[in-house]
Amino acid sequence: MTHNVLVVDDEPKLCDLLASALSQSGIQVFTAGNGLHALKVLEAEDIDLVISDWRMPGMDGPQLLAEIKTRYPQLPVIVMTAYSTVKNAVQSMRNGAFDYIAKPFDIDELDITVNKALQFRDILKDNQRMRAELDEHQQIDSLIGDSPSFRRVLHAIDSVRESNATILLTGESGTGKEMVARAIHKHGNRADKPFVAVNCAAIPEGLLESEMFGHRKGAFTGAVADRVGRFMQADQGTLFLDEIGEMPLALQAKILRALQERVIEPVGDPRERKVDVRVIAATNKNLLDAVANKEFREDLYYRLNVFPIPLPALRERVEDIAPLARHFAHTLGATAGKRITGFSAEALQAMANYSWPGNIRELQNCVERATIVASAAVIEEDDLPAYLFASRSTDSGVLVAEGSVPADLEAALAQVEKFYILAALAQSNGVQAAAAQLIGISERSFWYRLKKLGIHVDKIVR
């Protein structure tokens, strides 16, 4: 693949030297003597990388970098600087430069840095191509992000979407598991068939079998008519089993048989029904731990885990916070009758510094609140919720501070989880259903967490 590189420097001899060195690697080199000239070249040519001097007359390196990041946010920039001003180069990296090289530079070092930048550019282009293929002529609003961890998710979706393999989506609550499931269905070979979603934690255990497989009239008290279950509703299409880890053991055996034999048996009806369903399951639990604790069938786990796709937490894809926030602001602002054009640099930095325990769902709620209170088209730092700036502490007195590393990660996460559950209970005056809704989980999942964390709700929490 031939790459186009733009070298920007007010010294013609240096431009010629770099052009000669890069051309030996098969790179097409363009040159510009200043920042304004460079912007004209960028408008006319498909440039893959910019190498720019720091000090130039007129528009200097920092100004050119700012313009490129505004106009071409995915275009990598390498800054050239003298050894005495390396601190300026470091500052430029904070402002979005891919890397820097110090003058006088070593040709081998230059080649390594340029190759890394071009590889990065190729990855971004491949990601755009893949998303375009997934879109099939329309944008997938739910799949936003260019971080390495999220690119792995996109590649996994691209690999499995045309197959009928059973998929297991894992990750924390709020990481977008249902959005990924819908994207797989929408861009797979069953796109014109039904997509049926079931939250296994939200349906009472006594009704779950009937909900899944259906029932005949009179099969039990209250069965006043025949009911078609979710498996039959999803026939020829996709069945999404969310929070599969909360499914009772008694029902797991029947789910396993449905997956293995492709047949179901409605409650009260001895006749088997054939079904053709592509199953996508999701959980925020560690199912291997559940298997070890006899809470989840091992054979069902392996039947579900044919093609696992782990979804990263939002704190593991910080680069995606800004584009996600802009997307939510645009769509939510339009719904609220406001025209939101973006966020201030301070607001974006505040969101990047926050750990987002509620992940994408929490970010969306945060942006929705900000669009409501914002008085201008640009969301400012003051428009964001106060909790983004507050230190998080638990009733055990452990502080979760920026840059701190817990000695026991599981205990630290449990403390954070307990903090939010207690806060939700306080805000809902102890009404558990309302508290569950506040933090975006089902009542059944909320009850499970109360038990796991040893929280007793005997009276209204104040």
Read off the pLDDT of residues 125-182 as tens digits, 9 standing for 90 and up: 766 666 555 544 333 445 888 889 999 999 999 999 999 999 999 999 889 999 999 9
For residue 455, name the pLDDT band (cuts at 50, 70, 90): confident
pLDDT > 90? residue 344: yes
pLDDT > 70? residue 77: yes
Structure tokens at 309: 């796709």
Structure tokens at 345: 């640099």
pLDDT at 402: 44
For residue 422, name the pLDDT band (cuts at 50, 70, 90): confident
pLDDT > 90? residue 378: yes
User: Beta strand pairing status for 49-53 and 28-32?
Assistant: unpaired
Indicate the range of 352-356, 358-362, 388-392 predicted with least confidence.
Answer: 388-392
Q: pLDDT, tens digit, for every residue of 5-20?
A: 999 998 898 898 898 8
Q: How far apart are CA 455 and CA 406, in angstroms?
A: 22
Average pLDDT over residues 363-379: 90
pLDDT > 50? residue 331: yes
For residue 400, name the pLDDT band (cuts at 50, 70, 90): very low
pLDDT > 90? residue 51: yes
Structure tokens at 246: 């909360």
Residue 250 neighbours by CB distance under 10 Å: 10
Instruction: Report helix, strand or coil for 341.
Output: coil
Nearest Cα to Cα of residue 367 among 338, 330, 313: 330
Query: Percent of the chain beyond pLDDT 90?
Result: 39
Please list, in sequence order, all residues whose beta carbon lies within 8 angstroms of the beta carbon of residue 135, skipping any fewer than 6 positions away: 187
CB-count burial class (<10 Å; 0-12, 13-18, 19+) for 397: exposed
Nearest Cα to Cα of residue 278 among 262, 297, 290: 262
Q: Is residue 352 within a helix (H) or strand (E), and if so which, with residue range?
A: helix 345-353
Instruction: Report helix, strand or coil for 296.
Output: coil
pLDDT at 129: 62
Q: How far apart are CA 299 and CA 150, in angstroms?
A: 29
Q: How far apart are CA 376 and CA 355, in angstroms?
A: 26
For residue 432, name the pLDDT band (cuts at 50, 70, 90): confident
Average pLDDT over residues 225-239: 88
Secondary structure, 3-state, 426-453: HHCCCCHHHHHHHCCCCHHHHHHHHHHH
Domains of the chain: 4-127 (3.40.50.2300), 148-310 (3.40.50.300), 315-388 (1.10.8.60), 392-453 (1.10.10.60)
pLDDT > 50? residue 415: yes
Average pLDDT over residues 270-296: 92
pLDDT at 397: 40
pLDDT at 323: 92
Query: Percent of the chain beyond pLDDT 70?
Result: 87
pLDDT > 50? residue 462: no
pTM, entire model = 0.57
Average pLDDT over residues 440-454: 82
pLDDT > 50? residue 461: no
Query: Up-side HSE of residue 5: CA atoms within 13 Å toward CB?
Result: 30
